[in-house]
A = this chain, B = another copy of it.
């Protein structure tokens, strides 16, 4: 790839199956990406930028001269322009804006007032709006005349505004199609249409599109002036990006997206930031074992069961966390329903605790031939399972009650507590039965 010429490179890219370019390009080093980019014209380069993960695209862009960068950014879609320039230091993005096509640059400046995860940051400004006094014929002839210009627009609705540019109505294309030609928009439109202020959060937008089968939602500023349209697909894309970050955070990777093409220093630090907390939690939990060293040295077999009890309880508790998290998302429970949830989980904890306790107790009994060891291990696991299940069910509800994200903190809180309790239950039961175990 590196040594190829312009035409060969483009042919090569075109020959790749879809999805392959992104994969191959993302794995190249920055130098190689740069060399490759130079072989492409503006349009191809813009497409490449949109194909790369955002983080890498920004890195690549910032390695170019402002003129080269501006040339590429000019060719991109307005919302992607903003997203990409947002990733650069302000000084650098300002330099690029200065040499960009002035009209494009002004639009980017307008859109970049907004943070990326609100309606203003997600909206596009390409929309069709007409005044309420116009007729169906006016609109249809304008559409026919400007068909070429509008071809790039993703038109689903026509927005109706008044003299002050305020949004007063919305018109579906089908209503326009089915209406008599002389009719005024004001008598055809759906008045007072659904719209959102430009500050609406991504979460609210997701909620909106989940409960309304619409493809776009008009966005207004404080004066009710129509400023843009948020499209369903952009909200979904932003939602997926967020979900990706949440997925990584859930597995203990903080501070944003990780891709293997990032420098080792960043990747290592992002992973260590959670690992270093986790090791402290682990040391705290394991310190319970240290307090029972005497008991442990009398019955060394206990050491085999400590990790089993703690891991099993973490697992049982995580099941309850998952069900609570899911029920909270589905809206079938709320934080104040904790008594209902507690009753349900208590019953389940009793059943599953007895089942698992019996199983592990029998294993312990068979292994060492000591029924009391079985009783100690089985009893500890049963009790810890009951506790883990109840705790796992309630932790996400408590966090949600305090407006915290249950997905993130529930797991670590649970496992630290179940580890400590598991160690404590096994070792204190053992201490109580010590003469019978040795």
Tell me the A317-374 residues at the B interface (CB within 8 Å): 318-319, 321-323, 325-327, 329-334, 337, 340-341, 344-345, 347-348, 351-352, 355-356, 359-360, 363, 367
Tell me the A275-289 residues at the B interface (CB within 8 Å): 275-276, 278-279, 282-283, 285-287, 289
Q: What residues of B have a CB within 8 angstroms of the CB of A215 in the complex?
A: 215
Q: Is the CB of A312 within 8 A of B275?
A: yes
A318 to B415, CA, bound (A): 15
Q: How far is the CB of A78 from chain B (nearest CB, A)?
A: 15
Q: Is the CB of B282 within 8 A of A307?
A: yes
Q: What residues of B have a CB within 8 angstroms of the CB of A15 in the complex?
A: none
Copies in the complex: 2
Q: Does A194 contact B (CB under 8 A)?
A: no
A243-257 near B? 1/0 per residue, CB < 8 Å:
010011011110000
Interface segment, one of A113-121, A260-268, A429-437: A260-268
Q: Is the CB of A19 within 8 A of B174?
A: no
Q: What residues of B have a CB within 8 angstroms of the CB of A360 in the complex?
A: 279, 283
Q: What residues of B have a CB within 8 angstroms of the CB of A247 in the complex?
A: 322, 325-326
Interface residues on chain A, number (Cβ under 8 Å): 102
* Complex partner residue of A282 from B179, B312, B321, B337, CB under 8 angstroms: B312
Excluding A147-B178, A252-B319, 14 further A-B contacts by CB distance (< 8 Å) are A23-B333, A143-B174, A144-B180, A248-B326, A260-B333, A268-B351, A268-B352, A268-B355, A272-B356, A279-B312, A279-B360, A296-B300, A300-B300, A303-B306
A-B contact pairs, 10 of them (CB 8 A): A251-B319, A251-B321, A258-B323, A259-B323, A260-B327, A260-B344, A268-B352, A279-B356, A279-B359, A286-B308
- Mark A residues whose CB is within 8 Å of B: 18-19, 22-23, 26-27, 53, 140, 143-144, 147, 150, 154-155, 173-174, 176-180, 211, 213, 215, 233, 236, 244, 247-248, 250-253, 258-261, 264, 267-268, 271-272, 274-276, 278-279, 282-283, 285-287, 289-290, 293, 296-297, 300-301, 303-308, 310-312, 315-316, 318-319, 321-323, 325-327, 329-334, 337, 340-341, 344-345, 347-348, 351-352, 355-356, 359-360, 363, 367, 415, 419, 423
